[in-house]
Structure 1
Amino acid sequence: MLDRIAGFFRLIGRTIGRWVRLLFAWAFWPFIAARGWYVQRTWMIRLPILGLIGLLAVLYCYFIWQTQVWSGFNPSFVNEYRLSERKVAAGQELPATDGAAKSCQRSAIVDVAADLTDFNVNQNAWISSMLLYRLGFFGIDWDHTPFLDNKASFQRGVNQAVRRTSAELVDSLGRVRGTSGINNDLQDARGKLQFDEYSWYFGLNPFGPKTPTPSYYRSAIESLRKFNTDLANCNAVFDGRADNLIQFIDRIANDLGSTSDVLADRSQNHHRGWFDTRADDRFWFAFGQLYAYYAILAAAQSDFSQVVAERNLSAIFGATMRQFQAALQIQPAIISNGREDGWIMPSHLATMGFYILRVRSNLVETRSVLDR
């Protein structure tokens, strides 16, 4: 009996070994064939090929470094703004001091939007438009692989929140509705932030040289900061009315609701545990949105401080911030998309979706209080 059991396990071991050898043979035969061709060439052919291989090795080392090192990543970075020390709403005149020129309160929302974009393209490389990211893994989109795409997805999630915010700044927050024109700096920032996230120096559609994505986003940073400088000098407008805050919260709630729906679809229909190669980019896109919206909404509480005080919203804003903080504590090393009732592989997408819905629920409640 023991011999049969031992024979059964030896058979399993031999089968696994055979499949592993076949897998390695399939994966490495192109390199073995290329080596056979290479050694038969002259040095006139070998040297350029060797140089190309060396260049690719350097580029891949740089690419891997940039995807794995997250400079400036800090889910609590909003604390650095000391928003609680601001006593005046955005755009309102600051108390005069002897001999000082007239000045107004800067917008914390605009500061945060500019800093988030700076974090994406200056403190870090913008991964989605890097050449090796565009080329993929042997032609396979990096988003369809289980590695090297987390930071790119996170950055796009942050950028999605900043894009949404820039649109609201142009349409309502940065102008007095019906009595003032659109602010040119905010309009320029919105246009630049809407630019394609995947552009490199050269493209095929249309064919020819292009301005890469980070250049547009850096220009948007300058426009946002110029607006805030004008606002601080009382030469621009920030319309901190309750109806503008209602609309802003509505847009954020809808944006998060859309992301929650994407997570739910992936969780329910593709639950392959640790083997779902799209789970990580879905998770980190949602994480990036929450990372950005946490700071943006904290800034909104400061910019709309007069409305918050009049409607007694401090408690519900505080609860919303705590929900964001709880969600941002979820940082698993490997993302798993298991069944929600499974007992081996966790369901990180369902967990993230749960926290997003809790945040969204608080935003809906905030909106209902404002609308009374």
Structure 2
Amino acid sequence: MLDGITAFFQRIGQAVGRGIGLLVAWLIWPFMAAHGWYGRRHWMVKGPILAVLALLIGFYGYFFWQTQIWSGFNPNFVDSYRWSERTTPAGQELPAAASAGGGATAAATNARQCQSSAIVDAVADLTDMNVNQNAWISSMLLYRLGFFGVDWDHTPFLDNKASFQRGVNQAVRRTSSELVDTLGRVRGTSGINSNLQDARGNLQFDEYSWYFGLDPFGFKTPTPAYYRTAIEKLRTFNRDLSACNATFDTRADNLIQFIDRIANDLGGTAAILRDRSENHGGGWFDTRADDRFWFAYGQLYGYYAVLSGAGADFSQVIRERNLGQIWNETLNRFRAALRIQPSIVSNGREDGLIMPSHLAVMGFHTLMVRSNLVEVRSVLDR
């Protein structure tokens, strides 16, 4: 009896071993055949093939490095600005001592200087992180070619950074529109600032453009070049604002509209997270869950910086409306969301033990941030 059981398991082990051997042989056969063919060729043939292989390895090595190394990523980077120490709203004239150094120097120069915009600084620096401190992944050639023809966003590999960058860019684009339409002008009495207008136009450019395209066919300017131009235009606007040659309107109704736009944007993202969480569960095997998660994360990352800057730019409004506590609570809610950084994004059950639902968690934090913003808006509107 015991011998029969032992023989049975031995046969199973042998069958498994043969199966694994066949699988390995099937996998390595193309490489062995290519190696044999390559070994019989002349160096006139071997040389170009070797060069192409080296080029491919170099391209993919660079692509892998760029997708895995997140330079400048720091959810607490806004702390370095020390915006809480600002006492003058954006666009308003600074006291002589603060603007020119005080004493005899101030009297000698007699130059007006105004407070620059923290929002504009945040937008410029977020874009700088996306395209200067890092490669813009979405327009890289290998990202556009996909994984053996499959869009990288439909795979679980090497697309998290691209989704994060696009999330940050979503916040940047929305903010640039508000800068042009309301914040960077006195409504009804001043024209649109040309630097902000140019920055918005460049930031709205296609996120996937490479040096060459098929629709339309021909050579193109790649996406990062447009975004770098936008950075220059934003910094030029802030220099003009510091010299009192530009406008930044810090009225309460402008802040209300700005918060409305951000709340609506986050509401749309929360709906996307909810839909994916409820209708496409797959635990660790949902290949689109990481895209949704890191896009939302990048959007919150960007809006955290922008609203931290808004707290400095609209400091007078916040003081007059006694918004300090709820404003700080809103920023704390952003910080709580940005502490969620799973190694592998899972889209499982909300009560799952092994495969939790990170999308549900991120959706909850996104809605809580939106709820705080709605409360801020209601206080401002009283």
Short-chain TM bin: over 0.9
Q: Which amino acid letter does the alignment assign opposite residue 124 of structure 1?
A: N
What is the SS of the residue equivalent to 2:96?
A: coil
Q: Say if 1:342 and 1:52 are closer, same or farther in 2 by CA, change over 3 A.
A: same
How far apart, in 1, do the equivalents of 2:7 and 2:334 lie? 55
How far apart, in 2, do the equivalents of 1:22 and 1:327 lie? 48
Q: Say if 1:54 and 1:94 are closer, same or farther in 2 by CA, change over 3 A.
A: same
Q: Which amino acid letter does the alignment assign opposite residue 314 of structure 2?
A: F
Q: Say if 1:296 and 1:53 are closer, same or farther in 2 by CA, change over 3 A.
A: same
Q: Of residues 288, 291, 294 in structure 2, which corresponds to 1:278?
A: 288
What is the SS of the residue equivalent to 2:185?
A: coil
Q: Say if 1:76 and 1:43 are closer, same or farther in 2 by CA, change over 3 A.
A: same
How far apart, in 1, do the equivalents of 2:185 and 2:275 lie? 38
How far apart, in 2, do the equivalents of 1:21 and 1:141 lie? 32
| Rg comparison, structure with higher value | 2
Q: Which amino acid letter does the alignment assign opposite residue 46 of structure 2?
A: R
How far apart, in 1, do the equivalents of 2:212 and 2:162 lie? 20
What is residue 50 of structure 1 aligned with on the other side?
50
What is residue 224 of structure 2 aligned with on the other side?
214
Q: Which amino acid letter does the alignment assign opposite residue 206 of structure 1?
A: P
- Write out per-residue CA displacement over residues 52-76 of structure 1, whole angstroms, 9 at most, x where no aligned residue: 1001111111111111111111100
What is residue 165 of structure 1 aligned with on the other side?
175
Q: Which amino acid letter does the alignment assign opposite residue 82 of structure 1?
A: R
What is residue 80 of structure 1 aligned with on the other side?
80
Q: Say if 1:252 and 1:145 are closer, same or farther in 2 by CA, change over 3 A.
A: same
How far apart, in 1, do the equivalents of 2:16 and 2:189 lie? 74
How far apart, in 1, do the equivalents of 2:6 and 2:269 lie? 51
What is the SS of the residue equivalent to 1:158?
A: helix
- Write out per-residue CA displacement over residues 166-216 of structure 1, whole angstroms, 9 at most, x where no aligned residue: 000001100111111110000000000011111111112112111111111
Q: Which shifted more, 89-98 or 110-119?
A: 89-98
Deviation at 1:25, TM superposition (A): 5.8
What is the SS of the residue equivalent to 1:208?
A: strand
Q: Of residues 339, 358, 365 in structure 2, which corresponds to 1:348?
A: 358
Q: Which shifted more, 91-100 or 260-269?
A: 91-100
Q: Which shifted more, 216-225 or 131-140?
A: 131-140
Q: Of residues 303, 312, 315 in structure 2, which corresponds to 1:305?
A: 315
- Write out per-residue CA displacement over residues 21-56 of structure 1, whole angstroms, 9 at most, x where no aligned residue: 666566555544443443343321221111010011
Q: Which amino acid letter does the alignment assign opposite residue 78 of structure 1?
A: V
- What's the % identity of the aligned pairs? 73
What is residue 275 of structure 2 aligned with on the other side?
265
Q: Which amino acid letter does the alignment assign opposite residue 295 of structure 2?
A: F
How far apart, in 2, do the equivalents of 1:48 and 1:144 lie? 33
Q: Of residues 140, 148, 153 in structure 2, which corresponds to 1:143?
A: 153
How far apart, in 1, do the equivalents of 2:249 and 2:181 lie? 11
Deviation at 1:300, TM superposition (A): 0.5
- Write out per-residue CA displacement over residues 236-282 of structure 1, whole angstroms, 9 at most, x where no aligned residue: 00011111111110111111111111111111111111111111111
Cα root mean square deviation, aligned? 2.2
What is residue 64 of structure 2 aligned with on the other side?
64
Aligned length: 372
The within-5 A match list for 1:58-207 is 58-97=58-97, 98-99=106-107, 100=109, 101-207=111-217
How far apart, in 1, do the equivalents of 2:187 and 2:10 lie? 77
Deviation at 1:13, TM superposition (A): 6.5
Q: Which shifted more, 113-122 or 22-31?
A: 22-31
How far apart, in 2, do the equivalents of 1:109 and 1:179 lie? 22
What is the SS of the residue equivalent to 2:192?
A: coil
Deviation at 1:4, TM superposition (A): 8.8
Q: Say if 1:21 and 1:275 are closer, same or farther in 2 by CA, change over 3 A.
A: farther
What is the SS of the residue equivalent to 2:180?
A: helix
Structure 2 residues without counterparts, runs of 5 or longer: 98-105
Give the structure-2-normalised TM-score: 0.92
What is the SS of the residue equivalent to 2:218?
A: strand
- Write out per-residue CA displacement over residues 116-146 of structure 1, whole angstroms, 9 at most, x where no aligned residue: 0001111111111111111111111111121
Structure 1 residues without counterparts, runs of 5 or longer: none
What is residue 332 of structure 2 aligned with on the other side?
322
Deviation at 1:344, TM superposition (A): 2.1
Question: Are 1:224 and 2:234 matched, yes or no?
Answer: yes
How far apart, in 1, do the equivalents of 2:152 and 2:14 lie? 33
Give the structure-1-normalised TM-score: 0.94
Q: Which amino acid letter does the alignment assign opposite residue 292 of structure 1?
A: G
How far apart, in 2, do the equivalents of 1:5 and 1:165 lie? 71
- Write out per-residue CA displacement over residues 274-330 of structure 1, whole angstroms, 9 at most, x where no aligned residue: 111111111111111111111100111111111111111111111001101111111
Question: Are 1:236 and 2:246 matched, yes or no?
Answer: yes
Q: Which shifted more, 203-212 or 102-111?
A: 203-212
What is the SS of the residue equivalent to 1:309?
A: helix
How far apart, in 2, do the equivalents of 1:241 and 1:12 lie? 78
What is residue 103 of structure 2 aligned with on the other side?
none
What is the SS of the residue equivalent to 1:66?
A: helix
What is residue 369 of structure 1 aligned with on the other side?
379
How far apart, in 1, do the equivalents of 2:337 and 2:42 lie? 59
How far apart, in 2, do the equivalents of 1:110 and 1:350 lie? 32
Q: Which amino acid letter does the alignment assign opposite residue 177 of structure 1?
A: R
Q: Say if 1:12 and 1:320 are closer, same or farther in 2 by CA, change over 3 A.
A: farther
Q: Which amino acid letter does the alignment assign opposite residue 120 of structure 2?
A: V
